[in-house]
Structure 1
């Protein structure tokens, strides 16, 4: 099974960061740094960042992301490759439904997408957490990728994790193979987690083609 991150992995840049840079007041940056240094949990940081944004900006924020987000080169070919090879592909994202789902709708079905949800009914944006940590995780992940892996895979499953940031680190610790870029490379090096690096999904296909996996 392949468990692939979305922001900064499938897309060329992190959409939450793009939203904050465009719409949030300055205090968002401190929250981001606290998440990256693991001073606060991902769930706490992301929740607080979005609580800085008025709900009445929903249409503007959504339009901005859908217009500016870029899908990483080779992703469509990668999805086709996994289907041809009959490798189950799941998108596990700390991103939010209002931009993750429309950006992915031309590539994969919604039933393989696991992400956070949003509530615009209050004055500021509230993030909902339908995929919270199970009893085996104490990291307060928000969208808990290790919990999703434990739910979908078993001990015999060969697990491949593809990601780029701190939000993918705990999933990488459960993987049989890690395909990493950007900040996740630094964290894998720190924690002595073996990985292959990639810049686009054509690289990922080449890595998988070299991998002998029992499906």
Structure 2
């Protein structure tokens, strides 16, 4: 029996042209945010701890400003709607697996035909004085990266014996997942990891590149 193709696609810097968490921090400039970003990149802090501490710098009194900016600042990468349609036509199951936050991911993706249960991201709590990030998809017993939103746990829930697993991503939150899947579509920092580890990957600039390569893979 042939394996069913399944795509796990990152949001920030992949579906979107820019990284929305960094864009929010750059715009609102809470004191100390830039050091936290560098500590996450250098792996001094886990993604969960770093992102949680960044958003804890923002007061909930500015909720409307922050949400409006986050949604309004998004630019969708070319070919995304077409990739979703291609996936539907080809019977490829499509999941969004994001280390981003619900208050901007759900509104942005509501314009596209993606079921909500196919969108994995972190949650937010605006009840206190400062934004609190919640982690409904934390690491399982097989992951100790303290991801926050654990992409590897989600990928493992679709066994390789039954699925041809494809990851599309760009950054540090995609590193661990890239090691598990059959094929990686990579840009930015993820390219370097794939090169270093000799993973099966293809560079992409937009989602039309992904569609073209998926078509080529069909005829092998």
TM-score range, shorter chain: over 0.9
Is the aligned partner of 1:82 residue 2:75? no
User: Superposition pairs for residues 165-204 of structure 1, below 5 Å?
Assistant: 165-204=171-210
Report how far residue 81 of structure 1 moved: 0.3
1:42 — aligned with what?
Answer: 47
Counterpart check, 1:126 vs 2:156: no
Which digits, 9 at most, give the CA deviation of each residue in 1:65-113, with x for residues without a partner? Answer: 2212101001000000000001000000000000000100121121100
Distance in 2, Cα, partners of 1:27 & 1:147: 31
Matches within 5 A, 1:29-178: 29-107=34-112, 108-178=114-184
The answer on whether the counterparts of 2:31 and 2:57 sit within 8 Å (CA) in structure 1 is no
Are 2:210 and 1:207 aligned? no
Query: 5+ residue gaps in structure 1?
Result: none
Distance (whole Å) between structure 2 residues aligned to residue 191 and residue 60 of structure 1: 42
**Unaligned stretches of 5+ in structure 2?**
1-5
Aligned residues: 214
Q: Distance in 1 between matches of 2:188 and 2:160?
A: 29
Q: Is the 8 A contact 2:170 2:187 kept in 1?
A: yes
8 Å CA contact 1:24, 1:52 repeated in 2:
no
Cα separation, 2, equivalents of 1:61 and 1:27: 18
Report SS of the residue matched to 1:38.
Answer: coil
1:24 Cα deviation (Å)?
A: 3.2
Classify 1:95/1:213 alpha carbon distance in 2 versus 1 (closer, same or farther; 3 Å): farther
Secondary structure of 2:208's aligned partner: helix
Secondary structure at the residue paired with 1:7? helix
For residues 29-75 of structure 1, what are the alpha-carbon distances to aligned partners after superposition, in whole Å with 9 as ceiling and x for unaligned?
Answer: 11111111212111011001101100111110111122121010010
More deviation, 153-162/173-182: 153-162
Deviation of the 1:213 alpha carbon: 8.6
- C-alpha separation in 2, matches of 1:17 and 1:85: 35
- Equivalent residue in structure 1 for 2:29, among 24, 30, 34: 24
| TM-score after normalising by structure 2 | 0.94
TM-score (norm: length of structure 1): 0.96
